[in-house]
C-alpha cells in the first residue's frame, strides 16, 4: 500500500508526522511506500534528527507551501496550489498513492479532497467518520464535521457509508444505526432529524434502531450514530474536551494532599488503562468517506503514535475495500428506489 | 416565597421531591410556603415515612393524575387536566405561588408552562437554561432543550435572557456571550449559526465574544453559551453521560487490582471534591426562561439534595427578579431596533 503523507500538517509538524513514519515502518509491514510531501530540507532535517534512514519505502515529494490554521479551507486550496496537502491529494488523484493522511487544517483537507478527488457516484457530500470509545465497545460517529448544513438525504448517505465502514473495517456483521437526537422517543428531534428518521425507516440495507440520545453513546452505543456535521463536530469536540478537563481536574485534586497523592500513584495503572481505552490516539485519524479516493484526517495535535495509527487506518480502509463497498451499497439503494 | 412543587414528578417520586421539601424547610428560611401538589394519600404517607411534621409552611393541593414518561408533552397536558404538573402550574398562573418546581416529564412541564403561563411580551419561545460546571467557573447553556427548531431571532432572545440570568443570578457584571459552533473562526457554523452571529454582532446590550467550540466549554467558558434546543440538549446529555461513564470506568479499573483499590481508597477525597464540583445536583434544576412566571425543571433522577437545590434555584430566580430584568432587556432591545 502506498500512502501520501502531509508532512507539514499538524500542530507539531514535521516532527510528529515523521515520528509516525518511523513507527509505521517498524510496525506496518503492509506498507510499500510512504510519499513524504512537504518542504524537502525540513523533511531531511527531521529524518536526520529522528534517525530515520533513507529507504526505498520513503520518497520525498516537494511542496513549497504550508496551509496555516488561519487560512479558510477554500482559500487554502485556491491560493496555495503548491501546499503539502494539495500535492498529497494530487498523488491519490493520479493513482500514484492509495490514500492521503493529514493532521493539518481539516477544512483544507476536506476541500482539497472534494475538489480534486470528487465524490463517489451518487454521493452528494463526503462525511467525516470518527471511531469513538465507550465503556463497552467502539462506535462510529458520522458526520463528525465535513458538512454542517446537511439535508435528510445526506444523512441517509451517511448511514449507508457508515454501515459499510462498520461492517467491513470494524467487523460488525449487521451494523445497528442510530439517529442522533434530543431524545429516544419517535416524536423527538428537530425538523432534519424527523425527516431523516422517516427516510431511514424505509431504506432497505440500513439496520435502523431509531433515535439515540447523549445517554446512549457511552454505555451501550449502536455501531453507527448518524448526524449532520455541525452536531457531530460539537459532540466530538465537547466530549474530547470534557474527558481532558475531567482528567485535568482529577490530577489537580489528587496532588492537593499527600494522602490523595499516594492514592493517585497507586491507582496510576488504572488511569493508564482508561486513557488508552478513551484516547483518540488509538484510532489515530478519521476517514473522510464518500470520496473517489481515501483521505484520513488526523488530529491536529496528533503525536507520533497517533500518526502511525492514522497511517494504519489508511491501510485498513484500502485493504477492506471500503470505497467499493460504499459504491455497492449506494447502487443497491438506488436500484431498490428505482423499483419502488 | 411560595413554591408549587410537583410531588409526583421524577423517577423517585414522591420520595425524592418530599426529601427535598424536608431539606428546604431546614435550610431555606426565605420559604413561606411549599404547595405539595399531587395525590394527597401518597404525600401524607411520604411525610409520615420521612418524619416531616405538618407545618403552616406546607399545604397539600390535590391532583388526581400523574404524567407518565410515555405520554407526549402535548398529550399529557391535553388529556391529563388534573395532573400534578398542570395543577402546580395553575397555582403560578393564578398567582397563588411564585414558581413551580418539577422533576417530572420535561416536555409536559414545558408545554403546561407555555400554554398556561404564556411567554413574556415579545418573547417568542421559552428556553431551558442550564448552569454547567467547568474547571474554573460555572456557565449558562441556553437553550438546553425547549425549542429544537430555533430561528436566529430565538437565539438572540436566548442571548438576552441568558445575559439577564447570568448578570442577576450568577453575579456576572457584563456577561460574555458565546455562540455554540463547530469552530471558533467566523466562517464556521451552520446556516442558523452564521445568521445568528450576524444579529448578535449588531445587537446592543449583548457582550458577544463570537463563536465557541467544544474545547472552550470546560476550561475557560464564556458566561453564556447560546444555541438551539436540539444542539443544547445533545451537549447537556452527552456531557452528563460521558462524565458518568468516565467515573464508572475509573471505578471498574480501580477495583480490578489490590494496588489500585488501595490507591482509589486513598484518593477518594479528591474524587468526592470533583463529584461535588461537576454534579448536576448542585444546580438542582434548570430555569425555563421567557415565561410569564417561573418554572424550574429538575433532573428526572434528582435526589433529595438536588430537589432542595432546585427549590433554592426557584427562590433565587424570584428574589433576583429575573423576569422583570428579562422584560427590561427585551424592551430596550426593541426600542433600539425601532430607532435603528
- Between residues B250 and B234, which one has the greater pLDDT? B234
Residues of B in contact with A239 (CB under 8 A): 214, 238-239, 242
CB contact under 8 A, A213 and B234: yes
> Least CB-CB distance to B190: which of A148, A180, A273?
A148
The domain defined by A1-123+290-340 folds into Isopropylmalate Dehydrogenase (3.40.718)
pLDDT of residue A115: 95
The answer to whether ipTM exceeds 0.90 is yes
* E strands, B96-171, in order: 99-102, 127-132, 139-142
3-state helix, strand, coil in chain A (%, to 5): 50, 15, 35
Q: Report residue B340's pLDDT band, with 50, 70 and 90 as the boundaries.
A: low
Domain ranges of chain B: 1-123+290-340, 133-280
- Is residue B11 over pLDDT 90? yes
CA distances from B112 to A70, B5, B98, B109, B116 (A): 48, 14, 16, 5, 6
* pLDDT tens, residue by residue, A107-123: 999 999 999 999 999 99
C-alpha distance from B25 to closest chain A C-alpha (Å): 33
Residues of B in contact with A241 (CB under 8 A): 214-219
Q: How far apart are the first and last CA of chain A?
A: 41
Question: What is the rounded distance in angstroms from the CA atom of residue A166 to the CA atom of residue A164?
Answer: 6
The domain defined by B133-280 folds into Isopropylmalate Dehydrogenase (3.40.718)
Mean pLDDT in chain A? 93
Report which of B5, B3, B16, B49 is spatially closest to residue B306, judged by C-alpha positions.
Answer: B16
Sort B82 into a burial class: Cβ within 10 Å, 0-12 / 13-18 / 19+: exposed
* pLDDT tens, residue by residue, A17-28: 999 999 999 999
Testing the interface with B: which of A239, A270, A271, A280 to mutate, by most B Cβ within 10 A?
A270
- CB contacts < 8 Å between A and B, how many? 205
Pairing mode, strands A295-298 and A285-289: antiparallel
> Least CB-CB distance to A249: which of B135, B185, B245?
B135
CA count, 13 A, side-chain hemisphere, B205: 21
* pLDDT tens, residue by residue, B147-190: 999 999 999 999 999 999 999 999 999 999 999 999 888 889 99
Domain B133-280 in the same topology as domain B1-123+290-340: yes
Residues of chain A with pLDDT under 70: 337-340
Amino acid at each position: 500500500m502506498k500512502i501520501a503523507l502531509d508532512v507539514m500538517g499538524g500542530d507539531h509538524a514535521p516532527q510528529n508526522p515523521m515520528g509516525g513514519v518511523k513507527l509505521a515502518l517498524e510496525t506496518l509491514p503492509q506498507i510499500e511506500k510512504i510519499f513524504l510531501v512537504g518542504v524537502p530540507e525540513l523533511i531531511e532535517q527531521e529524518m536526520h534528527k529522528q534517525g530515520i534512514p533513507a529507504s526505498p519505502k520513503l520518497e520525498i515529494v516537494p511542496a513549497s507551501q504550508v496551509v496555516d490554521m488561519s487560512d479558510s479551507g477554500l482559500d487554502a486550496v485556491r491560493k496555495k496550489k503548491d501546499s503539502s496537502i494539495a500535492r498529497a491529494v494530487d498523488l491519490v488523484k493520479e493513482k500514484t498513492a492509495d490514500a492521503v493522511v493529514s493532521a493539518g487544517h481539516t477544512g483544507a483537507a476536506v476541500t482539497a479532497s472534494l475538489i480534486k478527488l470528487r465524490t463517489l457516484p451518487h454521493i452528494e457530500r463526503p462525511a467525516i467518520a470518527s471511531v469513538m470509545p465507550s465503556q463497552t465497545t467502539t462506535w462510529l460517529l458520522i458526520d463528525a464535521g465535513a458538512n454542517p448544513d446537511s439535508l435528510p438525504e445526506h444523512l441517509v448517505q451517511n448511514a449507508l457509508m457508515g454501515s459499510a465502514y462498520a461492517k467491513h473495517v470494524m467487523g460488525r456483521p449487521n451494523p445497528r444505526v442510530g439517529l442522533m437526537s434530543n431524545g429516544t422517543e419517535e416524536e423527538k428531534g428537530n425538523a432534519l432529524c424527523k425527516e431523516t428518521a422517516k427516510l431511514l425507516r424505509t431504506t432497505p440495507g440500513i439496520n435502523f434502531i431509531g433515535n439515540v440520545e447523549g445517554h446512549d453513546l457511552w454505555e451501550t452505543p449502536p455501531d453507527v450514530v448518524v448526524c449532520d456535521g455541525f452536531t457531530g463536530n460539537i459532540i466530538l469536540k465537547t466530549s474530547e474536551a470534557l474527558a481532558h478537563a475531567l482528567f485535568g481536574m482529577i490530577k489537580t485534586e489528587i496532588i492537593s494532599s499527600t494522602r490523595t497523592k499516594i492514592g493517585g500513584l497507586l491507582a496510576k495503572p488504572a488511569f493508564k488503562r482508561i486513557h488508552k481505552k478513551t484516547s483518540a490516539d488509538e484510532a489515530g485519524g478519521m476517514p473522510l468517506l464518500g470520496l473517489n479516493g481515501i483521505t484520513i484526517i488526523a488530529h491536529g495535535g496528533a503525536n507520533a503514535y497517533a500518526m502511525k495509527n492514522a497511517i494504519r487506518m489508511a491501510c485498513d480502509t484500502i485493504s477492506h475495500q471500503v470505497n467499493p463497498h460504499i459504491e455497492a451499497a449506494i447502487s443497491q439503494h438506488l436500484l431498490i428506489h428505482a423499483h419502488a
